[in-house]
Chain A
Amino acid sequence: MDKRVANVQAACEGIESNMTLMLGGFGLCGIPENCIAELVKKNVNGLTCISNNAGVDDFGLGLLLQKKQIKKMISSYVGENDEFERQMLSGELEVDLIPQGSLATRCYMGGAGIPAFFTPAGYGTEVGEGKEVRWFDGKPHLLEAALTADFAIVKAWKGDHFGNLIFKGTARNFNPMMAMAGKITIAEVEELVEPGELDPNFIHTPGVFVQRIFQGEKYEKRIEQRTVRTRQS
């Protein structure tokens, strides 16, 4: 078995305008930088993007927003992006805001064959409007449906030919669930290794969820909020 593709172009083959994509990452941490750059080049548009955040003006999904390639964003928090705000307020961009835990679990369910689940998050708020309510243990819950995508695009630290993935630090975030929920899942990794090199006990995403894998290039790994403390002398 070998899921390696030659490069980012081959990895993104078949992604067309008006498709639904999932993109891993939290803020700019653990985002598939190579594939985002390729989507900009491919000039596909009308995309529905499921991603916790929408990048910043000049990085991450902000690059696709600048070229108006995104029709709809499904996210939990979208604060850091002027172009996003402009397009949202002018009505060019449709935005569906979802509680973060519901978003994560809806992606997981999309990959796990669970069509919907009940959660208390959002009950009594505008998130709950029009949704079925059921009471369990004396508490109201909303019915939330699973999410899937034509392509899920994730970024891992290490991966092998079988598509097994290991993430580093909090760059894991949404990547494992989204990897499960794509009809086709593309994994870009910092280091592509031979099968057997990854300890099976420490693989985060089993390769069964991944269809294409390649080693990305020139990771910028931009830091959104650089916070430090000074050394006491």
Chain B
Amino acid sequence: MLSKDQIAQRIAKELQQNWYVNLGIGIPTLIANHVPKGIDVIFQSENGILGMGPFPFEGEEDADLINAGKQTITAMPGAVIFDSATSFAMIRGQHINLTVLGAMEVSDSGDIANWKIPGRMVKGMGGAMDLVASAENIIVAMMHTNKRGQSKLLKQCSLPLTGVKCVKKIVTNMAVLDVTPQGFKLIERAPGVSVEDIQNATEGRLIVEEEIPEMIF
């Protein structure tokens, strides 16, 4: 099984030269630490910056420079700041090459639920609905099962949806899967995890073709 940091590390291998990338809160944020050598990507934060850098050194925090998680950040050389409407024009207009976000549930047709649990305090969707509705390339980073051991990869989402038919790829602590018209297609296994383990932890339609390789880091 992968740690959260290893999930981020595996997703980082998907990054391509000169991509603009939007990372959600949680596991996706960790991807910035694993950008492969020789690959230049620019991180967007939807509150209005392209070229988001690492956290500032202690004592250099600037209240006027935060990311969408309200964390203090830095700006890389060549960074640019803009307003929220421009920021979502980049997202809606598909100028951002990759969006990575967390999820509570994903269905085998690519629906995603990640903003609301009935009966619990609703915090809001933030920018997630805009991101999933428009991004051409969406990777979900999440654990394969929830805290009660139930699959988060389902035939149909049970929670209120954030978007429909939008997720393209999922990287969990157990596997890498593509979302295809026929369901989840198993691409890679985490080290030490068998195809059977993944089948048992996946409630939605799972396609297993030929030998499934183990992930290489």
Chain A residues packing against B (C-beta within 8 Å): 26-30, 52, 75-80, 85, 88-89, 95, 97, 99-105, 107-108, 119-127, 157, 167-177, 204, 221-231
B147 within 8 A of A: no
Asked whether B63 lies within 8 Å of A223 as measured between CB atoms, the reply is yes
A168 to chain B, nearest CB (A): 5
Q: Do A29 and B163 form a contact, CB below 8 Å, given A76-B125, A175-B83? A: no
B60 to chain A, nearest CB (A): 8
Binds A, one of B65-73, B173-181, B186-194: B65-73
B211 within 8 A of A: no
CB within 8 Å of A: which B65-104 residues = 65-73, 75, 81-85, 87-88, 91-92
Asked whether A225 lies within 8 Å of B47 as measured between CB atoms, the reply is no
Contacting residues, chain B, for A230 (C-beta < 8 A): 57-58
How many B residues touch A, CB cutoff 8 Å? Answer: 53
Partner of B160, one of A26, A89, A99, A126: A126
Asked whether A78 lies within 8 Å of B64 as measured between CB atoms, the reply is no
From B125, which residue of chain A is reached at the shortest CB distance? A99
From A85, which residue of chain B is reached at the shortest CB distance? B121
Rounded to whole angstroms, the CA-CA distance of A146 and B147 in the bound complex is 41
**Do most interface residues of chain B lie in helix, strand or loop, or is the interface mixed?**
loop
Asked whether A100 lies within 8 Å of B66 as measured between CB atoms, the reply is no
Rounded to whole angstroms, the CA-CA distance of A118 and B75 in the bound complex is 33
Partner of B87, one of A30, A77, A88, A104: A104
Contacting residues, chain B, for A168 (C-beta < 8 A): 64
Rounded to whole angstroms, the CA-CA distance of A168 and B63 in the bound complex is 10
Asked whether A30 lies within 8 Å of B129 as measured between CB atoms, the reply is no
16 contacts between A and B (CB under 8 A): A26-B66, A30-B64, A78-B124, A79-B123, A88-B122, A99-B128, A101-B127, A104-B85, A105-B85, A170-B64, A223-B66, A225-B66, A225-B70, A226-B61, A229-B54, A230-B57
Rounded to whole angstroms, the CA-CA distance of A119 and B130 in the bound complex is 8
Asked whether B64 lies within 8 Å of A127 as measured between CB atoms, the reply is no
B133 within 8 A of A: yes
Q: Do A26 and B47 form a contact, CB below 8 Å, given A104-B83, A105-B88, A174-B84? A: yes
Extra 14 A-B pairs, beta carbons < 8 Å, given A77-B124, A104-B87, A122-B129: A26-B70, A28-B63, A29-B64, A76-B125, A101-B92, A101-B130, A120-B92, A125-B164, A170-B49, A172-B83, A226-B72, A227-B55, A228-B72, A231-B57
Asked whether A229 lies within 8 Å of B55 as measured between CB atoms, the reply is yes
Asked whether B81 lies within 8 Å of A97 as measured between CB atoms, the reply is no
A149 to chain B, nearest CB (A): 16
Rounded to whole angstroms, the CA-CA distance of A77 and B121 in the bound complex is 12
Asked whether A170 lies within 8 Å of B124 as measured between CB atoms, the reply is no
Rounded to whole angstroms, the CA-CA distance of A105 and B49 in the bound complex is 17
Rounded to whole angstroms, the CA-CA distance of A227 and B57 in the bound complex is 9
A65 to chain B, nearest CB (A): 15
Contacting residues, chain A, for B133 (C-beta < 8 A): 119-123
Rounded to whole angstroms, the CA-CA distance of A204 and B125 in the bound complex is 28
Asked whether A121 lies within 8 Å of B129 as measured between CB atoms, the reply is yes
Contacting residues, chain A, for B45 (C-beta < 8 A): 170
Q: Do A102 and B130 form a contact, CB below 8 Å, given A28-B70, A172-B48? A: yes
Asked whether B61 lies within 8 Å of A223 as measured between CB atoms, the reply is yes
